[in-house]
Amino acid sequence: MNEISVLIGGKAGEGIRNAALLTARCLSRYGYEIFTYDDYPSLIRGGHNFSIVRASKKRIGASRRNVDIMVAFNMDTVKKHVWRLRDGMLIYDSDCKELKDYAENSEHRSIGIPFESIVKRVSGIPVMKNTAAIAAFAKIVGIEWGVVEEVIKKFLKRKTEKNVEIAKIAYGSAETAMNIEKLSENPLPVASGNEAIALGAVCAGLDAYYAYPMTPSTSILHYLAANSEEFNIAVVHPENEIAVMLMALGSAYAGAKTMVATSGGGFALMVEGLSLAGQSETPITIVLCQRAGPSTGVPTYTMQSCLDFVIGAGHGDFPRFVVAPGDVDEAFYYTWLAMKIAWKFQIPSIVLSDKNLSEGMYTLHEEKCIIDDIKPKLWDGRGEYRRYKITENGVSPLAFPGGDAIVKATSYEHDEYGITAEEADKVKAMQEKRWRKRAALVEELKRFTGYKEAGSGETAIVTWGSTKGACREVAENLGLKYIQPIILEPLPDMKKAFEGVENSICVELNTSGQLAKLLRCNGYRVDNTVLKYDGRPFEVEELEERIAAIVR
């Protein structure tokens, strides 16, 4: 087998996502590349949840339409997803009469394991059915017991021994039906996009993180709070997003490297603070994890519809840095870069993620070594300190309260000392000073990868963010060129990538083709758009069919 896809389904509260994560980690320990997709409604209990775990010998970043194995906790899972199974195998909870009756009359190969009875046998709690399911799946596909035990002990920190006991019984209750190939003795780690974002910020020197919970950014808050002592950072949960932004700016003014994260509605509340950062030249890194809008929209599903908003957010002219990583490796690296750029140029940096990237699990390669440090310009302590000193590149020396300097921060227009000014010549000088940073930023970014390309040919798929995964795979399958801008403001020079391209197809998860508009405004041709806006990401086969129809 070159790959395997597993769908795990049940109702909210049964630990479906956790079962998928542990399944992914078991497969990862056999050396497979991993991608997981989670689908759940905005309900704490009830409703149908499912996750798809895809494991492959090659790098992947998207799910496929069909699955090889379905692990069903209830009949809803079968009813909703049996079309995906085709010639695959059904693993089900044989304590569920509906599932048992279905399996006995089904054409699919079916294996029943009494998940619920196993849990009751050792006086476990109902959610532990997911542990039984993981262990049964592992035995059926030929994963060694030692791998299952190691994964459970490492990642189930509560009632660990009870979970191991349940897993051992379930593992012994199943029979091996296939023998999955072990590819490596040194597997790579698996991480979510949000974990990679958090780690990138920590590596960039994060001191303080502020956030109000908002799906799909919330897991950054949980991850950093759980590891705050190890990372030596302050993690604060204020009362709303306005407070988040202003407290973070206050910390940055005092010299702490800060980051905030939210989704579209929370970012809307932060926009006045964004302009304050622009005027006061306070460095700040903002992570915006996109979901389906507008307003509350579909809060637990994905979309890429905030690009226009982010690039134009805030009143007045001020430079900003915007990146949109497409997988966990890029999430780690470009969050690091965003924080470094924010502090070197004293501007807001914005990392655009989306639900599919933020909550999806990927193999983390960490192949991009961070060796090129970018340092802020600090005051040398000589002479009279001017917080907003006019310089050739627009960047003034930084000093922080508590030292010898009087450090101003103001929302008003001002002179070099930070004293309010309304004279025409001073207003003009400060507007020009701040805007000169953008030209300096463009030069700085030439040292870094602003876009990626692969393949060749007259037809190119152009995309951004997590849609990278499906687009990259489809481009390979159809023999097309692939172009992915990662830095979106200031947009890098991509003329070489577009050389020889006669048909460019822009693929996005929004209704208006926001990247296509940005490209056209910057002189790049976009001949076709392939858009999806139902809250779900592209599956590989779906996108391949739509691209192939255009190419034909």
- The model's pLDDT over 121-162, given as tens digits with 9 standing for 90+, comes to 999 999 999 999 999 999 999 999 999 999 999 999 889 999
pLDDT score of 263 more than 70: yes
Cβ-based neighbour number of residue 296 at 10 Å: 12
Helices and strands, counts by H and E, the chain: 20, 20
Domain of 205, in residue numbers: 189-447
In this prediction, residue 186 carries a pLDDT of 87
| Contact yes or no for 305/356 (Cβ under 8 A) | no
Q: Would residue 252 count as lying in a domain?
A: yes
CATH number at residue 461: 3.40.50.920
190's tokens:
């698996």
pLDDT score of 486 more than 80: yes
Res. 366 pLDDT band, cuts 50 70 90: confident
In this prediction, residue 388 carries a pLDDT of 98
Q: Would residue 178 count as lying in a domain?
A: no
Which residues have CB under 8 Å from 105's CB, separation 6+? Answer: none
| Contact yes or no for 395/345 (Cβ under 8 A) | yes
Which residue, 372, 352, 364, 350, is CA-closest to 448?
372
| Contact yes or no for 7/67 (Cβ under 8 A) | yes
488's tokens:
């979106």
CATH number at residue 297: 3.40.50.970
How many distinct structural domains can be found in the chain? 3
pLDDT score of 195 more than 90: yes
Q: Are residues 413 and 500 in the same domain?
A: no
Q: Would residue 374 count as lying in a domain?
A: yes
Of the CA atoms within 13 Å of residue 218, those in its CB half-sphere come to 7
Residue with the two structure tokens 């490796």: 329
| Boundary-marking domain end, from 420, 447, 474 | 447
Which residues have CB under 8 Å from 45's CB, separation 6+? Answer: 11, 12, 13
In this prediction, residue 142 carries a pLDDT of 96
Res. 45 pLDDT band, cuts 50 70 90: confident
Distances (CA, A) of 349 to 113, 211, 371: 51, 16, 20
In this prediction, residue 430 carries a pLDDT of 98
In this prediction, residue 1 carries a pLDDT of 74
Q: How far is the C-alpha of 320 from the C-alpha of 250, rounded, in Å?
A: 19
Q: Are residues 529 and 425 in the same domain?
A: no
Which residues does residue 54 pair with via DSSP β-bridges, in sequence order?
5, 35
Q: Are residues 253 and 384 in the same domain?
A: yes
pLDDT score of 191 more than 80: yes
Question: Which helix (H) or strand (E) element contains residue 509?
Answer: none
Question: Which helix (H) or strand (E) element contains residue 241?
Answer: helix 241-253
393's tokens:
């590149």
Res. 13 pLDDT band, cuts 50 70 90: confident
In this prediction, residue 369 carries a pLDDT of 59
Residue with the two structure tokens 């849609």: 467
Q: Are residues 475 and 421 in the same domain?
A: no
pTM confidence score: 0.96
Q: Are residues 438 and 462 in the same domain?
A: no
pLDDT score of 63 more than 80: yes
| Boundary-marking domain end, from 125, 143, 173 | 173
Q: Are residues 387 and 534 in the same domain?
A: no
pLDDT score of 380 more than 80: yes
Secondary structure class of 286 (helix, strand, coil) = strand
Q: Are residues 371 and 483 in the same domain?
A: no
φ/ψ of 310, rounded to 5, equals -65, -45
Q: Would residue 222 count as lying in a domain?
A: yes
Q: Are residues 194 and 251 in the same domain?
A: yes
In this prediction, residue 367 carries a pLDDT of 62
Q: Are residues 86 and 159 in the same domain?
A: yes
Q: Would residue 180 count as lying in a domain?
A: no
| Contact yes or no for 324/356 (Cβ under 8 A) | no
Q: Would residue 24 count as lying in a domain?
A: yes
pLDDT score of 185 more than 90: no
Q: Are residues 94 and 135 in the same domain?
A: yes
pLDDT score of 370 more than 70: no
Q: What is the mean pLDDT of the chain?
A: 96
| Contact yes or no for 251/207 (Cβ under 8 A) | yes
Q: Are residues 158 and 57 in the same domain?
A: yes
Q: Would residue 184 count as lying in a domain?
A: no
| Boundary-marking domain end, from 415, 447, 479 | 447
In this prediction, residue 552 carries a pLDDT of 83
In this prediction, residue 368 carries a pLDDT of 61
Q: How far is the C-alpha of 263 from the C-alpha of 303, rounded, in Å?
A: 11
Q: How far is CA 281 from the centre of its chain?
A: 27
Distances (CA, A) of 264 to 290, 306, 318: 6, 7, 21
Report, as an integer, the average pLDDT of 291-306: 96
Q: Are residues 219 and 238 in the same domain?
A: yes
Q: How far is the C-alpha of 210 from the C-alpha of 242, rounded, in Å?
A: 11
Q: What are the pLDDT digits (tens) for 299-351?
A: 999 999 999 999 999 999 999 999 999 999 999 999 999 999 999 999 999 99
Angle formed by the axes of helices 264-280 and 241-253, to 10°? 30
Q: What is the percent of the chain with per-residue pLDDT over 70, rounded to a whole number?
A: 99
Q: Would residue 284 count as lying in a domain?
A: yes
Instruction: Give the residue ranges of DSSP H helices in 190-235.
Output: 193-203, 218-226, 228-231
158's tokens:
């509560």
CATH number at residue 54: 3.40.920.10
Kindly provide the b/e burial profile for residues 48-71, where b requires at least 16 CB atoms within 10 angstroms of the residue's own CB: bbbbbbbbbeebbbbbbeebbbbb
Q: What are the pLDDT digits (tens) for 405-450?
A: 999 999 999 999 999 999 999 999 999 999 999 999 999 999 999 9
In order, the DSSP letters of 271-333 are HHHHHHHHHHT--EEEEEEE-B-STT-BTTS-----HHHHHH-SSS----EEE---SHHHHHH
